């Protein structure tokens, strides 16, 4: 079940909100936990047992580490085992077939594929659980003594499938002491509708173009670059829209999740891009991998090593395929070039050139990210560089029919719509009744259009569902 499905919007969500709001405070966490586990079990019911195992295991490790706070050696051993077991779960369920396939390539063996179905969102909830135990070990977060409340933290459905990855310290107080308010709920509903529109009206429409172009052989260079642009818009509005919906749902339920996107396509450097894209994942790797490895504290050589390790792992986190590893190292190399070479004269490069250069690097990176099959990847890369000609009538037709959509998408990927909305609210502050009516008409209309689109369309993928 995804947020942009009719089952979620018309049945699951109204039922959860009704019961959660009407229930006495002491019953709200059990209600949310039940529905969160049901939400997860909707896709693959058997894997809810895996999530429950992860909840219980990390809960017990957190309590054991807290009780051993005076024994540094025991704490370290407990933390080590927790990390090993979490990574083992992730390795078995996400990477088994990857290793089998590669062993078959390099060794004279023919091991059968394990055929393990990837548990939805396992990368997200595993990292979230590990961050809790590590933070308890560091005394950066309080230990949770109630396994059901801890289970709610891990399985909370708004951020379960695709994040943002929430640190326990961010929501520790709100798990047991959150309040519901009409103002917060209204803000949450608005944020949810905006995210739904980004996903359904923007990502799905441009994603259909990408699905057509990526499946077409012998593309001209113009068509291939148009496809890369389409995919870049699709993955941004798909993922940031989902994050908006998660944050909005959090507000409605009394939780405050941190922002996960900050208009990454307005960036003028790769460093800035990754400070704006999937912020919770970048922060996780910084806090739990880069800094523990030594960060930039032990000389240039180790800093280079640490950056490459982080980006190798970032790529591998995204999927069990060589293209993700290549994608991670691709960004690791560009970040190193930017940090140690380009930075010296970056201020002398005109802002427009820096922005365009960053976008070209990002677009090429998305092509690496999109194709898990090596043959398909290299075929598309060939098209990007003109292996089948520069332009043709198909490319011109696609450009002419998609021109307006591309303009709308480009504007929507900037802060301009938000600034316009803020300015309009400020001008109408003296007329609160008119402002309320306009907001109701706008958000109800936007929601109705999204529902109509979902009823009429069968194309509703979610890219990060596989991670």
Q: Minimal CA–CA distance to 322: which of 117, 122, 101, 92?
A: 101
Sign of CA dihedral 48, 49, 52, 58: negative
How many CB atoms neighbour CB 92 within 10 A? 12
Residue whose entry in the numeric block shows the structure tokens 């009206």: 201
Residue 163 phi, psi (nearest 5): 75, -165
How many CB atoms neighbour CB 147 within 10 A? 13
- CA dist., res. 16 & res. 148, Å (int): 18
| Residue length of the chain | 467
Known catalytic residues are 318
Q: Which tokens sit at 337?
A: 């070039």
For residue 463, cis peptide bond before it (omega within 30 degrees of 0): no
- CA dist., res. 377 & res. 320, Å (int): 16
Q: Minimal CA–CA distance to 316: which of 91, 119, 163, 134?
A: 91
- CA dist., res. 453 & res. 150, Å (int): 37
Helix, coil or strand: residue 278 = coil
């Amino acid at each position: 079940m995804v947020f942009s499905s009719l089952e979620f919007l018309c049945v699951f969500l109204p039922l959860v909100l009704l019961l959660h709001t009407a229930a006495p405070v002491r019953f709200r966490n059990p209600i949310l936990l039940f529905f969160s586990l049901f939400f997860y079990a909707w896709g693959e019911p058997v894997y809810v047992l895996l999530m429950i195992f992860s909840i219980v295991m990390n809960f017990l490790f957190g309590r054991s580490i807290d009780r051993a706070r005076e024994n540094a050696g025991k704490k370290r051993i407990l933390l080590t085992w927790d990390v090993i077991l979490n990574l083992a779960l992730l390795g078995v369920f996400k990477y088994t077939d990857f290793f089998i396939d590669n062993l078959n390539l390099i060794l004279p063996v023919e091991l059968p594929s394990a055929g393990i179905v990837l548990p939805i969102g396992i990368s997200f909830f595993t990292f979230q659980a590990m961050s809790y135990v590590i933070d308890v070990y560091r005394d950066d977060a309080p230990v949770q003594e109630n396994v059901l409340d801890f289970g709610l933290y891990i399985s909370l459905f708004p951020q379960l499938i695709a994040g943002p990855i929430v640190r326990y310290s961010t929501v520790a107080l709100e798990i047991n002491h959150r309040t519901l308010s009409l103002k917060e709920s209204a803000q949450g509903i608005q944020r949810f509708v905006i995210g739904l529109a980004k996903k359904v009206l923007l990502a799905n429409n441009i994603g259909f173009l990408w699905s057509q172009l990526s499946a077409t052989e012998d593309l001209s260079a113009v068509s291939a670059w148009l496809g890369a642009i389409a995919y870049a818009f699709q993955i941004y509005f798909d993922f940031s829209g989902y994050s908006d919906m998660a944050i909005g749902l959090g507000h409605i339920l009394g939780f405050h999740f941190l922002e996960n996107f900050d208009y990454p396509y307005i960036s003028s450097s790769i460093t800035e891009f990754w400070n704006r894209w999937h912020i919770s994942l970048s922060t996780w790797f910084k806090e739990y991998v880069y800094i523990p490895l030594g960060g930039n504290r032990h000389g240039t050589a180790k800093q280079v090593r640490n950056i490459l390790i982080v980006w190798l792992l970032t790529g591998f986190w995204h999927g069990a395929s060589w293209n993700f590893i290549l994608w991670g190292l691709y960004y690791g190399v560009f970040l190193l070039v930017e940090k140690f070479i380009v930075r010296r004269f970056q201020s002398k490069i005109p802002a427009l050139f820096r922005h365009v250069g960053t976008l070209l690097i990002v677009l090429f990176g998305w092509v690496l990210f999109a194709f898990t099959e090596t043959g398909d990847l290299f075929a598309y890369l060939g098209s990007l560089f003109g292996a089948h000609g520069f332009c043709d009538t198909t490319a011109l037709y696609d450009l002419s029919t998609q021109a307006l959509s591309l303009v709308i998408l480009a504007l929507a990927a900037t802060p301009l719509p938000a600034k316009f909305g803020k300015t309009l609210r400020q001008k109408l502050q003296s007329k609160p009744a008119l402002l309320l009516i306009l907001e109701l008409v706008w958000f109800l209309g936007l929601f109705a259009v999204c529902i109509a689109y979902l009823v009429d369309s069968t194309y509703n993928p979610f890219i990060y569902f596989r991670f």
